[in-house]
Structure 1
Amino acid sequence: MQARALSIWSNDTFLYARIYGKGRPLLLLHGNGETHQILDAQIRYFSSFRQVIAMDTRGHGKTGAGSGTLTFHRIANDIIRLLDYLNIESIQIIGFSDGGNLALYTAKHYPYRVNEMVIVGANFSPDGMLPKVLKETVWEYRMQRVMGTLIPAIRKKAAVTNLMLDELALRREDLPTIQQPVLVVAGSQDMILESHTHELAKLLPNGRANIVPGASHFLMMENPEEFNRLASDFLN
């Protein structure tokens, strides 16, 4: 796949993204602690007939964290900065896990810049995670906070983990204001509670849930052909 790499200044750090293909633009957003590379199967598929924009979000991959607290608000501002740089007025989004949460946040605060969305394994509240997963995430964050007092790299990691906890800036009352069509996808074996996925879709005025039988949180990577067809049908 041929790609054009971008590194642009966004407020207080450099933002890294790769552009693939030509056609109607589609933004891909990875999950917490990952990079755009985890969405390689989606990049390959959609770039054959779309312009795909795959970014490393703030604090991830080749994008710096900048100064101050890492928040969804700052990352959403980075997305708008990237769209402005590329002269894209509005865009469709596929967001995985925390990337799905970020897609919803961006649609809420910049409604005219976001069109249809497919969000996978997303949650609007930390308690949308399975209790065991939430407990492990909280424990991991606490350990990172302690070790981060001595090791800067772990301190940065703690800031990323906290995006799933204290910095998950979605409120239940925000969701009914998001008017864009949203396909809310999750696996039947997801780390997100199935009841939470259905509640999320129900709270969105134009939301629709699709639970993939037997699939885990990483259904996009486990069965990319099925997911890509599902997402393509919805977005087109």
Structure 2
Amino acid sequence: MELINTFESKINTLHIDLSKEQQSQYVTYYNMVVEKNKVMNLTGITEFDEFIDKHYIDSLSIVNAVDMTRVNSIIDVGTGAGFPGIPLKIAFPHLKITLLDSLNKRINFLNEVIETLGLQNVETCHGRAEDFGHRKEYREQYDLCASRAVANLSTLTEYCLPFVKVGGQFVSYKSGNVDNELKESSKAIKILGGEAGKVCSFVLPGTDFARTLVPIKKIKMTGNKYPRKAGTPSKEPL
């Protein structure tokens, strides 16, 4: 009960209301991550309070930049242990979510989570963004692409923007000041059919962690040559 109360007080800062079932899903998910973490590296954060702050509240903080009630479909690129996709799905059950990761062990774990929590309309995909971004069933099919993956913004935009419908957006979870990174990625964003939106910066409640959300709107279709073949976006950013 104490775990629930701690979580509820923190999630209220984002003005998100949860049912008892949703609260229970978050606790179960936390327990599954911590248990699996004993045999597979999923996270360096296992203490409940810190986990809430740096995984759950952080994942859900996208509400500061996006009206999630107007989003129907999301792809989470480089989802890892399921962040931000699973926390978003629990909080907003209407969402249709695709979780993409290059490590099959993580995908197998996420399938266990989805089954245990009874989540509907969640698809897991094992593979690289450079490959899935060219598949017609994924390319330009999503209202929103979200990613907490660590890479420079030029590279991430090439991974992520091809998945987004014209009129949708890609939101990158960054830390600290992104002015220089945004400036350096402006060419890539334009080439890929995007336009940088208003950056949203804040400190996660109860922490000293500075989170920055970088929204990139999709204003025109991405050229067929992008994303380039696997490995190229990271080695040779646009």
| Same fold flag (TM > 0.5) | no
- TM bracket, shorter-chain basis: 0.3 to 0.5
TM-score norm. by structure 1 comes to 0.36
TM-score norm. by structure 2 comes to 0.35
